[in-house]
Amino acid sequence: MEKGPPRLSDLKIVASRPSDLSKAWARYYDRLAARFVEQIDRRRFNVILEAGCGKGQLTIPLLRRLPRNVKMIAIDSSKGPYAGWLKELSQKLQTARLEKRVQPIKSDARRIRGIEDESVDIVVSNELLCDLPYDSQLEKALTEFYRILRPGGLMIHGEWSSSPAAEPQAFLVKHWPSWTPDQLFSIMRKNGFHDFRVTYFETTIHFGYENALEELQTWGATEKFLRHNDEMLKREGIELPYEHIVQCEK
Ligand SMILES: C[S@@+](CC[C@H](N)C(=O)[O-])C[C@H]1O[C@@H](n2cnc3c(N)ncnc32)[C@H](O)[C@@H]1O
């Protein structure tokens, strides 16, 4: 049967109540993992490295969709607001009985420890580049990705787009402004990558009032900000921005 374009209702995951939240995030990341696998297409690969894997939000659904013979290396610096996240990943992997398929490494993406030159087929990340907001930080990470990738290897990076999914929320997210695809194109090209492509992941989550408050707090919103926007949040909730996904080759 021919697959038509997705309906708008399929692209919006709704988390109205607190009890909807974890399921909504799981659906979101499962769809995102499906998109990453689609981008990999029919390439042959044995080793994939995820940089900034966090607590495995993408790692686990991605692993479930990858062939069993693929080895994943998951690196994260796991410090500051993210302290303990890598440990959480290890626990989740055990529970899901996936621990044999992943090697978690505590390491900064700007100086990747224990990974040899040209030993990785694919590097992926999600919401990592926004944590490397200066040219020099991003360039250091790109130099490392270039070093560990084999010639012809692929990189795929997803990031919340700097345009909101719904007005008037452009100002809400601490992560903004993220890198634009144009900026990424020029900096990745300068660092030796080619065949640059950008696509958009159109799935978003609509958070009802209580979930919106919780999400905004984790994104760094102040009490003053929350009080000031309380009426709007009650009326409209908030919507996660879309992601851009950039892809290029060594
Ligand atoms: C916003 S979280 C994203 C987590 C997960 N990838 C996701 O999609 O939800 C950013 C993650 O990148 C990690 N990170 C930030 N800067 C890093 C760096 N320089 N090297 C390695 N990991 C880093 C953080 O520790 C955190 O786990």
Rounded distance from Cα 52 to ligand 1 centre (Å): 3
Residue 34 has pLDDT above 80, yes or no: yes
- How big is the CA angle at 46 (ends 101 and 247), to the nearest 5 degrees? 105
Distance CA 215, CA 25 (A): 11
- Give the C-alpha separation, 171 to 41, whole Å: 35
pLDDT tens column, 81-123: 899 999 999 999 999 999 999 999 999 999 999 999 999 999 9
pLDDT the model gives residue 124: 98
Please identify, by atom number, the ligand 1 atom nearest to the C-alpha of residue 82. 25
Residue 169 DSSP symbol: -
From ligand 1's centre to the CA of 102, what distance in Å?
Answer: 17
H runs (alpha helix) in 41-180: 59-65, 85-95, 135-148
Count how many Cα atoms sit within 13 Å of the Cα of residue 111 in the half-sphere of its side chain.
Answer: 0
Catalogue all structural domains in the chain, each as residue range(s) with its CATH number.
8-37+44-249 (3.40.50.150)
Percent above pLDDT 90 for the chain: 75
Quote the pLDDT of residue 183.
Answer: 95
33's CB contacts (< 8 A; 6+ apart) are: 58, 61, 62, 64, 65
3-state secondary structure of 112: coil
| Angle made by CA atoms 239, 241, 247, in degrees to the nearest 5 | 155
- pLDDT, one tens digit per residue, over 155-165 is 999 998 876 66
**Of the ranges 6-20, 24-38, 210-224, which is most confident?**
24-38
Rg (CA), the chain: 18
Give tens-digit pLDDT for 177-220.
689 999 999 999 999 999 999 999 999 999 999 999 998 888 77
CA 200, 178, 246, 115 dihedral sign is negative
Strand, helix or coil for residue 196: strand
CA dist list (Å): 87 to 25, 53, 58, 106, 232: 20, 11, 15, 9, 37
User: DSSP E strands: which ranges in 67-119?
Assistant: 71-76, 102-106
**Which residue among 128, 215, 243 has the greatest number of ligand 1 atoms within 8 angstroms of its CB, and so is best to mutate?**
128
* C-beta of 78 in contact with ligand 1 (< 6 A): yes
pLDDT above 60: residue 4: yes
Indicate whether 170 pLDDT > 60.
Answer: no
Q: Nearest-CA neighbor of 112 among 75, 160, 61? A: 75
Quick one: pLDDT at residue 241?
85
User: 7 CA to middle of ligand 1, Å?
Assistant: 31
Mean pLDDT of the chain: 91
Q: Does residue 2 register a pLDDT over 50?
A: no
pLDDT at residue 220, as a whole number = 76
57 CB within 6 A, ligand 1: yes
